[in-house]
Structure 1
Amino acid sequence: MFASFLYFDLSFMVWYLLGPLQVPIAEALGLDTQQRAFMVAVPILCGAVLRLFLGMLADRIGAKRVGVLAQLAVIASLLGAWQLGIHSLGQVVLLGGLLGIAGASFAIALPLASRWYPPEHQGTAMGIAGAGNSGTVLAALFAPMLAAAFGYRSVFGLACIPMVLALLVFIFAAREAPVPVARKQWADYGRVLVGNRDSWRFMLFYAITFGGFSGFASALPGYFHDRFDFDARSAGWATAACVLAGSMMRPLGGMIADRIGGTRSLLGVYLLVALLVLVAGAGVGGAQVSLLLFVLTLLCLGAGNGAVFQLVPQRFGSEIGVMTGLIGMAGGIGGFLLAAGLGVLKQQTGSYTPGMWLFALCAFGGWGLLAWVKREWRSQWVAGAGAARV
């Protein structure tokens, strides 16, 4: 569990690195708001797609081996950016694509930890391992500060230090669970998608919760800079407060879902998120009010991430590996659409409000869909006292 958490945590730190560095990079390369948003959204999208490939590879040669190879590739990418520099939008997008490998760690760390625990503790186990998304806090806190002191290019080189240490811990501490692992094929993904409405529903639910978390985590440094004229360091610290709330709440969200049921938790999450983002988009209050609203928003989204993965093993126990990859991919796609969409709408309208309200509408839609299907789930998945956990 510790090895999975640390691996996931520092991989997420690197995956998110372009977010808190977006202001100095955009200033150096002369990027507009839309280009800046695309730059920070690319790692999210690439990480989402690569999760499927790394997940399939992990089934064949082992999650630990794939984790080591992926970490080496990420370290090499960081070293290249540090030594060679980035001089254009195309180069920073290429770097973002390579950093997407770090985002694909989701498909390695979570199954590696999950397979050690029985179904009744999946919410807690997946929540603890998944709390590795707190690595975004490290990036938001330290990347702008280091960039101000040494230049943003040096941040890529400095990031290699904790990555190498985490790799060593992973090599010596990670262990594969003594359970049989079925090798996934592309046909397996097709099987759970064709004619299975629940697979699409879960992908949508996670696209809202994790997509909201990762999308806002990447977009908020630019948002605080543009709207309240925060410098890169202040914007990073404000974003770190928001991301920390969401990261800490993920394991608690899993525990709460274990106690009161995943659907009940998610219903509350979607409703609260929709209301909070509506108010934030309306521009009520100043910087402090906006910061509080986004802290609460990401706190709720973190709880939602834990709740989704409390439900996944109950619905897809024999296909958890396939669904973890698909759901993780959907979450990344959701984050890409939110981060890029906020930038596009800001560029076209001059305001972040339309993008915020569109996301709030999606959260309301998730609430409505979940309220509609919850009775069907409770009657079909479990019987008797076990239904309370759904």
Structure 2
Amino acid sequence: MSTTRSPGAGSRRWIEGWDPENEAFWEREGKYVARRNLWLSILSEHIGFSVWSIWSVMVLFMSPAIGLGFSPSEKFLLVTTPAAVGALLRIPYSQGITRFGGRNWTIFSTSILLVPTGLTFWFVQQPGTPLWVFLVIGALTGVGGGNFASSMTNITTFFPQRHQGWALGLNAGGGNIGVAVIQVVGLLVIATVGSTSPAYVAGLYLPLIVVAALLAALRMDNVDAVRREPGMLRAAAGNKHTWWISFLYIGTFGSFIGYGFAFGLVLQNQFDFTPLQAATYTFIGPLLGSLSRPVGGWMSDRWGGERVTLWNFIGMAAGTGMLLVASAVDSFPLYLGSFVVLFVLTGIGNGSVYKMIPAVFARQAEQTITEGGDAVEAFAWVRRFSGTVMGIAGAVGALGGVFINLTFRASFGGAAASGDAALLTFLAFYAACVVVTWAVYLRGAAAREASATRVSAKVGADA
């Protein structure tokens, strides 16, 4: 491995010859470099998620008391807008890593968060600001959602396949927890200075963004392995597994981010909670869902992403059923408990579906090796191709958050003014995910495992 610097006093640092599958290299120096970049990636992605979900907190403050009285339907629209923009930005953000390098893109993607955060800080202090202004600012906060795709694409190149479930789960979980943290910040602000001072929430993040960008500039690396061959995005888009996995990720990550954005509003509308009452509970689900994501990666390393994903969707369907029961008997404790379980399962499912990505394409690499292809080149292709698929799946999955919020908006805006119609829709979708996981990835699992054993034996014999 060598480190090269372009002219300009080291303004751009690249590590050449990055090969984490080489165990000697990995133990000697690779794991130390990878872990340093992982922790800094988590920090940047965490702040990105917090900014992306800031409007799930801002809407709890919006009331006639501060000159920003909007209807429940308008508030659901406000939390839907960042989700939609963040989803659409995920593919270009994942490509930004491959073009400019992980360190360079992280500096940019973190620094740009100052724009929407600063605008939020200013305009929530201006009574009478029209809805369209907040919709524009909400759209700009969507850049925080793009950080996930670039971060995951970057980190997958640093770690060998045998550690990717853990590393990607930790990276994603540390980022996802930003949804919970900003809601805790909102709770603390409401509890200490009241529900009329939303600017404190945005103001806290402005210096944190600067610190994260500086740390990325000083301590992160670009690696040559992240660069992709031309046409990789087109090839990934043409692979059927890209879209099956994206469909499953709608069910897991789409649910996590959608519920995370909508939970406070759901409690306000379902149980007539005040902002303080809603904020008291909104962080619990996203926090546990974030912490469970590395668990999903670890479970998938042990039992396989497909199996974990199947049972996880069965659990999510059961949890949604319990939410309908809780709504029917008007039980807040059961409703909250069922939602928390659902959040935990979204986290586990996020980890297991992302673990499926390198595993599915590793099987294609094994087939190439069986046909006489070079093993090193085949698995280098897996890392690059998997990173591209992660960008696509992350974008499609995040659109599930838009679906969640629009469905809740329609459900609470209907004659019944409850979330039951939305929950029935989600239950049907989780059932479809169970069918897809079994039919596409588990029905022929025994034959694939036997084939993989034959490939391993052949590779060992050739060695």
Q: TM-score, normalized by length of structure 1?
A: 0.92
Aligned: 1:9 with 2:46: yes
Q: How far apart are residue 281 of structure 1 and its match?
A: 2.5
Q: Report if aligned partners of 1:145, 1:233 keep a CA contact under 8 Å in 2.
A: no
Q: Report if aligned partners of 2:97, 2:226 keep a CA contact under 8 Å in 1.
A: no
Q: How far apart are residue 232 of structure 1 and its match?
A: 1.7
Separation (CA, whole Å) in 1 of partners of 2:284 and 2:342: 11
Separation (CA, whole Å) in 2 of partners of 1:297 and 1:354: 17
In the alignment, what sits opposite 2:24?
none
Separation (CA, whole Å) in 2 of partners of 1:386 and 1:14: 46
SS of the residue corresponding to residue 227 of structure 2 reads coil
In the alignment, what sits opposite 2:199?
153
Separation (CA, whole Å) in 1 of partners of 2:341 and 2:185: 22
1:202-351 equivalence runs, <5 A = 202-282=245-325, 283=327, 284=329, 286-316=331-361, 317=382, 318-349=384-415, 350-351=417-418
Separation (CA, whole Å) in 1 of partners of 2:446 and 2:295: 22
Greater Cα offset, 228-237 or 7-16: 228-237
SS of the residue corresponding to residue 159 of structure 2 reads coil
SS of the residue corresponding to residue 105 of structure 1 reads helix
Measured against aligned partners, the alpha-carbon deviations of 1:327-350 in whole angstroms (never above 9, x if no partner) come to: 000111001110121112210231
Q: 1:358 corresponds to which letter in structure 2?
A: T
Aligned: 1:96 with 2:143: no
In the alignment, what sits opposite 2:443?
375
Separation (CA, whole Å) in 2 of partners of 1:145 and 1:124: 32
Measured against aligned partners, the alpha-carbon deviations of 1:203-261 in whole angstroms (never above 9, x if no partner) come to: 10001100000000011101111222222233123121111110000001100011011
Q: How far apart are residue 183 of structure 1 and its match?
A: 5.1
Larger radius of gyration: 2
Separation (CA, whole Å) in 1 of partners of 2:387 and 2:209: 26
Q: How far apart are residue 124 of structure 1 and its match?
A: 0.6
Separation (CA, whole Å) in 1 of partners of 2:331 and 2:95: 47
Separation (CA, whole Å) in 2 of partners of 1:144 and 1:183: 47
Q: Unmatched 5+ residue regions in structure 1?
A: none
In the alignment, what sits opposite 2:244?
201
Q: Which has the higher contact order (CA 8 A, sep 6+)?
A: 1
SS of the residue corresponding to residue 361 of structure 1 reads helix
Separation (CA, whole Å) in 2 of partners of 1:36 and 1:226: 11
Q: 1:357 corresponds to which letter in structure 2?
A: L
Separation (CA, whole Å) in 1 of partners of 2:424 and 2:280: 25
In the alignment, what sits opposite 2:114?
75
SS of the residue corresponding to residue 351 of structure 1 reads coil
Aligned: 1:358 with 2:421: no
Aligned: 1:384 with 2:453: yes
In the alignment, what sits opposite 1:114?
156
Q: Report if aligned partners of 2:181, 2:287 keep a CA contact under 8 Å in 1.
A: no
Residue in structure 2 matching 1:38, options 77, 87, 102: 77
Q: How far apart are residue 63 of structure 1 and its match?
A: 2.2
Separation (CA, whole Å) in 2 of partners of 1:89 and 1:29: 9
User: How many residues end up aligned between the 2 structures?
Assistant: 384
Q: How far apart are residue 36 of structure 1 and its match?
A: 1.1
Aligned: 1:62 with 2:130: no
Separation (CA, whole Å) in 2 of partners of 1:311 and 1:357: 28
Separation (CA, whole Å) in 1 of partners of 2:324 and 2:405: 15
Q: Unmatched 5+ residue regions in structure 2?
A: 1-37, 362-381, 457-463
Measured against aligned partners, the alpha-carbon deviations of 1:18-51 in whole angstroms (never above 9, x if no partner) come to: 1122122265433222221111011111111111
Superposition RMSD in Å: 2.1
Q: How far apart are residue 162 of structure 1 and its match?
A: 2.0
Q: TM-score, normalized by length of structure 2?
A: 0.78
Q: Report if aligned partners of 2:95, 2:150 keep a CA contact under 8 Å in 1.
A: no
Greater Cα offset, 22-31 or 231-240: 22-31
Q: 1:331 corresponds to which letter in structure 2?
A: G
Q: What percent identity do the matched residue pairs reach?
A: 23
Q: 1:71 corresponds to which letter in structure 2?
A: T
Q: 1:121 corresponds to which letter in structure 2?
A: H
Q: How far apart are residue 190 of structure 1 and its match?
A: 3.4
Q: Residues 188 and 180 from structure 1, CA distance in 2 versus in 1: closer, same or farther, beyond 3 angstroms?
A: closer
Q: Report if aligned partners of 1:42, 1:93 keep a CA contact under 8 Å in 2.
A: yes
Aligned: 1:124 with 2:166: yes
Q: Report if aligned partners of 2:102, 2:223 keep a CA contact under 8 Å in 1.
A: no
Separation (CA, whole Å) in 2 of partners of 1:181 and 1:376: 34
In the alignment, what sits opposite 1:105?
147
Q: Report if aligned partners of 1:140, 1:236 keep a CA contact under 8 Å in 2.
A: yes
Q: 1:325 corresponds to which letter in structure 2?
A: G
SS of the residue corresponding to residue 142 of structure 2 reads helix
Separation (CA, whole Å) in 2 of partners of 1:202 and 1:326: 10
Q: Report if aligned partners of 2:96, 2:150 keep a CA contact under 8 Å in 1.
A: no
Runs of 4+ off more than 6 Å = none
Separation (CA, whole Å) in 2 of partners of 1:379 and 1:322: 27
